[in-house]
Structure 1
């Protein structure tokens, strides 16, 4: 069955579906549908809202607000150690960048350049560096924080296929 689901993902119009689901996740009406989807998701993935600013799924204006829920003040205090992780989730890969060009992500090896959408200049900045990959499960808090003082000055769109990151799909999909 897992092979079938992976094959289905390969033939679906991934970017169209991603945009469609994004639009649906922003819908506030009908309220009963929004609440049903949130309750179902909470039940399926055992989501606990005790740390969230909204204590009930019905308090969120739409599914996306629930999925990217904010936390109450003090729920993620900065660690006093030298290491601080920017997101909830499981550290799935970590290590040194080998040969100035390879990084493991999703169980695969990628070039730094491909992960940065073809930027040789920026890829060079990470040569001989280190990397860490975090897997955010559906139940995890889905915000990423900068664990240092600073300002985000750039984001980058990285084109490519949009496969699920569950273990079954990762095992079966190349690239």
Structure 2
């Protein structure tokens, strides 16, 4: 009964207008006074931030902060695939005949996650990582490899929470929420960076101007409040690290695996 009630309450609160209201407040001057408390509550490493706390005009500006140069070293090994974000790994593993298996007890299909894109067939036996960003984390998203952006797609949807509760008890959250998908062509193939919106995330935004080509670790986009990135690689294009598992944390620039060359 309690679970059903929580699910119903989440359904009611997962309307876009709720996130818009939250986002409007976070972008207002009134939110500025909450920055120190927010930073303390979530134990954010404020010394890494590009600016001092008092220099941020709104809570949203602080949340989408850049970091001081050198705060996130990028793995420099040849053909390295790096984490695009600071995150906890919710799930990772091989894609089996178009299925992402057992993400908090639920299976997802590539077709639903990628909104029926014809590119889906290239990923049917690839590899995936689900990377959850909590409010504590740095919320800019970077390119996991050097390459060319070959396609982007915005998929409208809900804004259900993508935390432990949302992924476990809500139905197929990753494929029902709003998503921004970026396909990047690298020397060994292609990968997809799927940015998933969430409760109280007012938007997912690309950096401006969005470059046609990206270096490994270059800025790609950012979340306005916490969410999730699903990283997908094409069939046979990556040798993933075998020591990473669900529950581990990674930082942007950490090695996730090694990309193959064609």
1:174 to 171, 175, 184: 171
TM-score by length of 2: 0.58
1:109 aligns with 2:102: no
Q: Residue 75 of structure 1: SS of its match in structure 2?
A: coil
Judged with a 3 Å threshold, the aligned counterparts in structure 2 of structure 1 residues 151 and 66 are, in CA distance, closer, same or farther, namely farther
Q: What's the offset of the Cα at 1:131?
A: 0.7
User: Within 5 Å, which residues of 2 pair with 1:140-159?
Assistant: 140-159=137-156
Give the strand-richer structure, 1 or 2.
2
Q: Unmatched 5+ residue regions in structure 1?
A: none
TM-score by length of 1: 0.83
Tell me which residue corresponds to 1:136. 133
Q: What's the offset of the Cα at 1:153?
A: 4.7
Contact 1:106 1:165 in 2 (8 A): no
Tell me which residue corresponds to 2:51. 54
Tell me which residue corresponds to 1:92. 90
Once residues 16 and 104 of structure 1 are traced to their aligned partners in structure 2, the CA distance between those partners, rounded to angstroms, is 32
Q: What's the offset of the Cα at 1:76?
A: 1.1
Q: Unmatched 5+ residue regions in structure 2?
A: 173-262
Q: Residue 157 of structure 1: SS of its match in structure 2?
A: strand
Matched positions, count: 168
Judged with a 3 Å threshold, the aligned counterparts in structure 2 of structure 1 residues 84 and 105 are, in CA distance, closer, same or farther, namely farther
Which deviates the most, 88-97 or 165-174?
A: 165-174
User: Within 5 Å, which residues of 2 pair with 1:63-102?
Assistant: 63-81=59-77, 82-99=80-97, 101-102=98-99
Once residues 21 and 89 of structure 2 are traced to their aligned partners in structure 1, the CA distance between those partners, rounded to angstroms, is 30
Which deviates the most, 106-115 or 136-145?
A: 106-115
1:160 aligns with 2:161: no
Contact 2:90 2:131 in 1 (8 A): yes
Contact 2:95 2:126 in 1 (8 A): yes
Which deviates the most, 152-161 or 123-132?
A: 152-161
Q: Residue 76 of structure 2: SS of its match in structure 1?
A: coil
